[in-house]
């Protein structure tokens, strides 16, 4: 099912709704005891996607090692500007943490559902992180743009590369949130107490790669903010995002 690019600012994801729904049923036979939403509720729009709204309101990508404080800072931003920004709700195959809600922090999906979206070219970018899949669907970004809000993506480095090199997605502004040191990052990851030891170890390993990437010439970041003191870091992020 080809992804056709028209005039450089439109996506056409050409797929038949019927074949999609057949695939859904093959992958996810209806089961009342499964609470995870089914493919059809997460499927990307199959109609042409006009990116002019995203061009008018350039998206912001925030990245940085897990534990660097992205969620904490974004929560403040959304509280201070309830109508200006919209969070791009990613899909992930990881399990929800305590307090996370399906459709709010993430669309929590099975590996099969995630793979279907990959096959149907429903993602702008997607990557594996700590053994789980994560991806930004076209629909997630459209949902925000359609409300006239600036879309904010919180994604890891492979996704950053894909977005930066995307053939049609309007180039966002990239912010890198850096921890004061690897020691402090480890303390914060452990202090958050949301991940098992094995997951923390994976995140710390990945954090080193994120830091190396941020320092490499390949990184598209327009701004780096060190999250030492939270209030100060938030001010700096706010100045970059809001202006
Ligand atoms: P991320 O979203 O980047 O994975 P979080 O926002 O979950 O990171 O932050 C990781 C942990 O660090 C959380 O427990 C958060 O409260 C804490 N934290 C974030 N920023 C600071 C800061 N400047 N000083 C101290 N703790 C912080
Ligand atoms: P967490 O499991 O802590 O919520 O997220 C782990 C990492 O995945 C974070 O670095 C976060 O930025 C990244 N992430 C979240 N959503 C996406 C996504 O849609 N795409 C990519 N590439 N990374 C994501």
Atom 14 in ligand 2: which residue has the minimum CA distance?
A: 155
The count of C-alpha atoms lying within 13 angstroms of the C-alpha of 215, restricted to the half-sphere facing its C-beta, is: 7
At 50 the pLDDT is 58
The count of C-alpha atoms lying within 13 angstroms of the C-alpha of 168, restricted to the half-sphere facing its C-beta, is: 19
Residue 220 pLDDT > 70, yes or no?
yes
Task: Determine the Cα–Cα distance for residues 141 and 174; give it in Å rounded to an integer.
Answer: 16
Which residues line ligand 1 at a C-beta cut-off of 6 Å? 64, 66-72, 188, 191-192, 227, 230, 233
Neighbour-count burial of 240, counting CB atoms closer than 10 A to its CB (0-12 exposed, 13-18 middle, 19+ buried):
middle
Classified by CATH at the fold level, domain 3-242 comes out as Rossmann fold (3.40.50)
142 CB less than 6 Å from ligand 2?
no
pLDDT band at residue 171, thresholds of 50, 70 and 90? very high
CA distances (Å), origin 58, targets 7, 152, 226, 237: 19, 9, 23, 16
Counting from 1 in the atom list of ligand 1, the atom nearest the Cα of 66 is 4
Cβ atoms of 42 and 91 within 8 Å: the answer is yes
Best mutation site among 61, 65, 71, 72 for ligand 1, i.e. most ligand atoms within 8 A of its Cβ?
Answer: 72
Cα 193 → chain centroid: 22
Residue 91 pLDDT > 50, yes or no?
yes
What H or E segment, with its residue span, contains residue 112? Answer: helix 111-119
Q: Measure 67 CA to ligand 1 centroid, in angstroms.
A: 5
Q: Which residue has the higher pLDDT, 57 or 62?
A: 62
Q: Which residue has the higher pLDDT, 158 or 40?
A: 158
Task: Determine the Cα–Cα distance for residues 65 and 156; give it in Å rounded to an integer.
Answer: 8
For the chain, give the number of residues.
Answer: 243
Q: Measure 107 CA to ligand 1 centroid, in angstroms.
A: 22
Atom 5 in ligand 2: which residue has the minimum CA distance?
A: 66
Q: What is the DSSP letter of 91?
A: E
Phi, psi angles (nearest 5°) of residue 90: -75, 165
Residue 152 pLDDT > 60, yes or no?
yes
pLDDT, one tens digit per residue, over 27-57 is: 433 333 323 232 333 344 333 355 677 777 8
Atom 24 in ligand 2: which residue has the minimum CA distance?
A: 155
Cβ atoms of 195 and 189 within 8 Å: the answer is yes
60: β partners = 152, 173
Best mutation site among 72, 159, 174, 193 for ligand 2, i.e. most ligand atoms within 8 A of its Cβ?
Answer: 159
Cβ atoms of 107 and 91 within 8 Å: the answer is yes
Q: Where are the alpha helices (DSSP H) in 4-110?
A: 17-27, 39-42, 52-56, 70-80
C-alpha gyration radius of the chain: 18
Task: Determine the Cα–Cα distance for residues 43 and 62; give it in Å rounded to an integer.
Answer: 25
Q: Percent of the chain beyond pLDDT 70?
A: 79
Atom 20 in ligand 2: which residue has the minimum CA distance?
A: 135
Cβ atoms of 170 and 153 within 8 Å: the answer is no
pLDDT, one tens digit per residue, over 96-110 is: 999 999 999 999 999
């Amino acid at each position: 099912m080809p992804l056709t690019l028209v005039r450089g600012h439109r996506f056409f994801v050409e797929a038949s709704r019927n074949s999609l729904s057949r695939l859904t049923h093959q992958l996810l036979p209806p089961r009342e005891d499964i609470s995870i939403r089914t493919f059809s509720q997460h499927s990307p729009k199959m109609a042409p996607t006009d990116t002019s709204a995203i061009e008018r309101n350039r998206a912001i990508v925030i990245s940085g090692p897990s534990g660097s404080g992205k969620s904490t800072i974004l929560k403040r931003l959304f509280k201070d500007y309830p109508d200006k920004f919209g969070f791009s709700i990613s899909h992930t195959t990881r399990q929800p943490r305590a307090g996370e809600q399906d459709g709010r922090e993430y669309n929590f999906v099975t590996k099969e559902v995630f793979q279907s979206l990959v096959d149907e070219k429903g993602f702008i970018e997607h990557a594996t992180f700590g053994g789980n899949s994560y991806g930004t669907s076209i629909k997630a970004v459209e949902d925000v743009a359609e409300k006239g809000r600036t879309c904010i993506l919180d994604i890891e480095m492979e996704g950053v590369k894909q977005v930066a090199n995307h053939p049609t997605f309007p180039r966002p502004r990239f912010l890198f949130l850096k921890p004061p040191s690897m020691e402090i990052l480890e303390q914060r990851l452990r202090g958050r107490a949301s991940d098992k030891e094995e997951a923390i170890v994976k995140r710390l390993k990945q954090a080193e790669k994120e830091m190396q990437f941020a320092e490499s010439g390949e990184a598209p970041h327009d701004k780096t903010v060190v999250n030492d003191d939270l209030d100060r870091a938030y001010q700096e992020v706010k100045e970059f995002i809001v202006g």
